[in-house]
């Protein structure tokens, strides 16, 4: 009679296969810590900051601190939220112009920034936002040296790089909202066209937030069925159904919303509150986040661009190794080169 392998031998073989597959799928950035805090600080109580705050108080986060230089508005926003605490899960909310209120935060979210003037170029706007970040980042790190930083302020990829440099934190603990909202918009437009719930429509928009973002068409799928298998031309210039139109809508959405209502707020608020929940609850969920991109897909510059990131309690734990087409890789590398050229001319 042939001798059967022991259960332990089978287990070891399975574990080896899992580890091999995992190493092919993910590139680890940092091991998760062994403890977590639940306090979140939001810097900036404009339309975006308050949309984030409102979305978060419905998520049972524990403690929320808000900081802004406008003391009058800050007090009004605080009172308005506090008067509705009966109707949400328990949360402690406080606000101040003093950064001491942020002490012991697990996550610090930065939405503050200057608005672009009508005749202002990108370089001038960046310099003004860098000056603002110089007055924010050191204070946050002083009171919460173990925190994770989430940057929402635009241009988000460049400002996330700035936040990383000013903070002195390891890169995995600094990330930007990046193309997480772009990806959400893409999934919505896909679900709307197909008539299928957005939760079953999957696809990533990666790279630079804005006009030069990249849709990874090879990975777009509905309930595991890849669009490329049903229509190999999907997303290409030869596609008779013009699926590329979805990406055009994604790129144009922000400007259209601003034209209609004056600003964007609710979608990014819901998006960032989801990212915060992933950090606080150590979810290890995957989002398209602005992260340190050097070494991925042939990128050789020190830049932050959006890639599918595993987000957990200590920030970005891993990056998913997506198979990209040569064209998609070149788009990413081109964005990296252009961004690096801008960063070289900035003094911070």
Token pair recorded at residue 302: 């020190």
The strand pair at 62-67 and 39-43 is best described as: parallel
Catalytically annotated residues: 209
Contacting residues for 72 by C-beta, under 8 A, at least 6 apart: none
Side-chain-side CA neighbours of residue 36 (13 Å): 18
Residues 6+ apart with CB under 8 A from 75: 95
Q: Give CA–CA dist 39/280, Å, rounded.
A: 8
User: How far is it, in rounded angstroms, from Cα 42 to Cα 6?
Assistant: 54
- Longest Cα–Cα distance of the chain, Å, equals 85
Cα distance between the two ends of the chain:
74
Measured between alpha carbons, how far is residue 223 from residues 123, 125, 196, 202 in Å?
A: 43, 42, 10, 8
Q: Is 51 left (phi over 0), alpha (psi -120 to 50) or beta?
A: alpha
Q: Which of 160, 173, 204 is nearest to 312 (CA)?
A: 173
Instruction: Tell me if 159 sits within 8 A of 111, measured CB to CB.
Output: no
Contact 115, 80 (CB under 8 A): no
Which candidate, 103, 155, 102, places its Cα nearest to that of 126?
155
């Amino acid at each position: 009679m042939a001798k059967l392998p022991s259960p332990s031998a089978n287990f070891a073989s399975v574990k080896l296969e899992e580890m091999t597959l995992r190493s092919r799928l993910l590139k680890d950035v940092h091991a998760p810590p062994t403890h977590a805090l639940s306090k979140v600080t939001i810097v900036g109580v404009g339309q975006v900051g308050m949309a984030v705050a409102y979305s978060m108080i419905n998520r049972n986060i524990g403690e929320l601190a808000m900081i802004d230089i406008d003391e009058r508005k800050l007090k009004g926003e605080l009172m308005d939220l506090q008067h509705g605490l009966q109707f949400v899960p328990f949360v402690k909310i406080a606000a101040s112009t003093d950064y001491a209120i942020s002490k012991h935060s697990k996550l610090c979210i930065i939405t503050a920034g200057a608005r672009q003037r009508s005749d202002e170029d990108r370089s001038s706007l960046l310099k003004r936002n860098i000056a603002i970040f110089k007055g924010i980042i050191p204070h946050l790190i002083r009171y919460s040296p173990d925190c994770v930083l989430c940057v929402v302020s635009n241009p988000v990829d460049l400002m996330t790089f700035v936040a990383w440099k000013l903070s002195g934190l390891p890169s995995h603990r600094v990330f930007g909202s990046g193309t997480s909202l772009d990806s959400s918009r893409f999934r919505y437009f896909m679900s709307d066209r197909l008539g299928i719930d957005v939760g079953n429509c999957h696809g990533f928009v990666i790279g630079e937030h804005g006009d030069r973002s990249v849709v990874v068409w090879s990975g777009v799928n509905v309930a595991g069925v890849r669009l490329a298998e049903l229509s190999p031309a999907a997303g290409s210039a030869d596609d008779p159904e013009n699926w590329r139109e979805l990406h055009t809508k994604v790129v144009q959405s922000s400007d259209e919303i601003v034209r209609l209502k004056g600003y964007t707020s609710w979608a990014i608020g819901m998006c960032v509150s989801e990212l915060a929940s992933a950090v606080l609850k150590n979810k290890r969920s995957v989002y398209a986040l602005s992260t340190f991109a050097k070494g991925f897909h042939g990128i050789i510059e020190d830049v932050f661009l959006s890639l599918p990131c595993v987000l957990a309690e200590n920030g970005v734990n891993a990056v998913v190794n997506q198979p990209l087409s040569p064209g998609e890789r070149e788009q990413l590398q081109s964005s990296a080169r252009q961004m690096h050229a801008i960063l070289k001319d900035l003094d911070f």
